[in-house]
Structure 1
Amino acid sequence: MTKRVRVRRDDSPLSPGAYWLLLAWSPAVMLVGMAAGAVLIIRSILVWGVGSDEYQFGVDIPMSAGVLVVWVGAVALMLLPPRGVLALRSGPFDSSRLLVWPLGRRFRMWNMLAAPVCGLLAAFAPFPIATALGSSSGIPVNLWIALPFALALTLLGVGLVGLVLRSALHGVELTPTHLIARGYLWTRRYPRHEIVSINAVALKFWPSALLGMLMNRDVEYTLQLSLAGGREPLLLASNSHEADVNAGADIIRAWRSAHAS
């Protein structure tokens, strides 16, 4: 009896070139999701929550819902990268750009799907400072307490918005010459020839506590590089479960060895 071998098709309908283009525009895509989510949530609360004649159902509600449906489709495509863009431990590493998909995987989807709620947060971001400065006449204000607290809330909101805008880019990429770590707020590049070792490590208290507050989840493991100059930077773009971080470390070691030989 002949056994049939099932050929696994690519999980993504996008070509590698189309996927990289979508990823390059991902901050704009996330901004659209934030704006549509804010409109839909605020208008829905006003129409069905407040129940006042002042707030009536309008075409903006189904329009924002339709935009969110399209946005969800774009997010799904970004979460299904074609195999041609993925770095594998077995190689090959001759592509100009590869994703180390396990790194950052634990938070990638949830950060992206948080965009509509973060849009609502962004819409109300000016209110804490405005209230602290006394814009609400019925509320007594103590600036020494209210203003620092309002500034902290606003900075937290800005940080969350920045995190969501970069959520699709979040992770680690490999080129023939560099490791690129796209973190929560900025991108760092490390020349391949300067990387001495790659290790999965447990985060210390303060980085873990700060990321845990932003992510609303325990953040325990990340990747650490040892560089030729003696520096040992943490790649906070790589936060995930221990198994994911170890898998990502193995891929990067294979990439480094392949180009070193």
Structure 2
Amino acid sequence: MPPTLYWRLFHLSPIIMLVGMAAGGLLIIRSILVWGVEDTDYPFGIDIPIAAVVLAVWGCVIAALLTPSRSVLARRDGVNESAALVWPLGRRFRVWMVIAAPVCGLLAAMTPFPIPVALGWDPEIPASLLIGLPFAIVLTVSSVALVWMILRGVMHGVEITPTHLVARGYFVTRRYPRDAIVSVNAVTLKWWPNLVLSTLMKSEVEHTLQLSLVGGKEPVLYAANSHEHDVEVGAEIVRAWRQGAE
């Protein structure tokens, strides 16, 4: 894939992920209604094959985004003429979040309902303000957070440009000027972010990247979490890139 096309798709990836989420959610819901629910009359419709085709095309585009050419990858010697992806950083959960997108579409479709149900908007279900409403709020917030994470799945990780390091984490993107970075280190997460991320990702999260900046700040890049070897390789790439500014 030409670098220009790749970068366009990369920056449009949240919309692409949304398409996969919508197609996957529709396909799962309609399949359950047509073939998984007994004693109901939900006919097979043209929307099912259309959703399947869209999901297949989406899968091809995502596969291309997850196998970038060398022209868009950061070099280990730090010599990059333009923006480049430090692919090892964040790799551990990047694929997982993409695979989860179609199933997450089902979750997104259910997100608007818990709070209204707890408030008693459904006349057949009594309101439950004491227990049901707090639970519904937590469930809704968690669902929205998960959907937001999945939308950022392809972009998750670290990018270096001639002037900045860009860390696209689970929820926000942070930019660090190249000349403000003093050192780069592979570190083990402290117990509380380890616990939060491990619970969120349903898998042990231990290693990531930490920067030391001019002024004494030492931000931890949760966008960079991966296996220890990946983080070490990523740190080497970022160090070489940083030294190129000296």
TM-score bin (small chain): over 0.9
Q: What letter corresponds to residue 216 of structure 2 in structure 1?
A: G
User: What residue number does 2:54 align with?
Assistant: 67
**Equivalent residue for 1:22, pick from 1, 9, 12:** 9
Paired residues of 2:97 and 2:150 also in contact (CA < 8 A):
yes
CA RMSD of aligned residues (A): 1.2
Q: Distance in 1 between matches of 2:211 and 2:25?
A: 39
TM-superposed deviation, 1:140: 4.2
Whether 2:101 is the aligned partner of 1:115: answer: yes
User: What residue number does 1:31 align with?
Assistant: 18
TM-superposed deviation, 1:203: 1.1
User: What residue number does 1:154 align with?
Assistant: 140
The normalised TM-score by structure 2 is: 0.96
TM-superposed deviation, 1:138: 4.5
**Equivalent residue for 2:237, pick from 233, 251, 254:** 251
Regions of 4+ moved over 6 Å:
none
Q: Distance in 2 between matches of 1:38 and 1:180?
A: 31
User: What residue number does 2:38 align with?
Assistant: 51
SS at match of 2:113: helix
User: What residue number does 2:210 align with?
Assistant: 224
Whether 2:110 is the aligned partner of 1:127: answer: no
Whether 2:71 is the aligned partner of 1:84: answer: yes
Q: What letter corresponds to residue 225 of structure 1 in structure 2?
A: L
What do the CA deviations read for 1:38-63 (whole angstroms, capped 9, x no partner)?
Answer: 11000000000113452011111111
Of the structure 1 ranges 134-143 and 250-259, higher mean CA displacement relative to structure 2 is found in 134-143
Q: Distance in 1 between matches of 2:79 and 2:180?
A: 21
Unaligned runs of 5+ in 2: none
Q: Distance in 2 between matches of 1:128 and 1:150?
A: 5
The normalised TM-score by structure 1 is: 0.91
Q: What letter corresponds to residue 116 of structure 1 in structure 2?
A: P
User: What residue number does 1:186 align with?
Assistant: 172
Unaligned runs of 5+ in 1: 1-13
**Equivalent residue for 2:150, pick from 157, 164, 171:** 164
User: What residue number does 1:142 align with?
Assistant: 128
Q: Distance in 2 between matches of 1:248 and 1:140?
A: 54
SS at match of 1:200: strand
Paired residues of 2:152 and 2:170 also in contact (CA < 8 A):
yes
User: What residue number does 2:162 align with?
Assistant: 176
Q: What letter corresponds to residue 43 of structure 1 in structure 2?
A: R
TM-superposed deviation, 1:214: 2.0
SS at match of 1:218: coil
Q: Distance in 1 between matches of 2:132 and 2:179?
A: 50
Q: Distance in 1 between matches of 2:43 and 2:124?
A: 28
**Equivalent residue for 1:199, pick from 171, 185, 192:** 185
SS at match of 2:41: coil
SS at match of 2:244: helix
Number of residue equivalences: 246
Q: What letter corresponds to residue 8 of structure 2 in structure 1?
A: L
Q: What letter corresponds to residue 129 of structure 1 in structure 2?
A: I
Q: Distance in 1 between matches of 2:78 and 2:184?
A: 17
User: What residue number does 1:10 align with?
Assistant: none
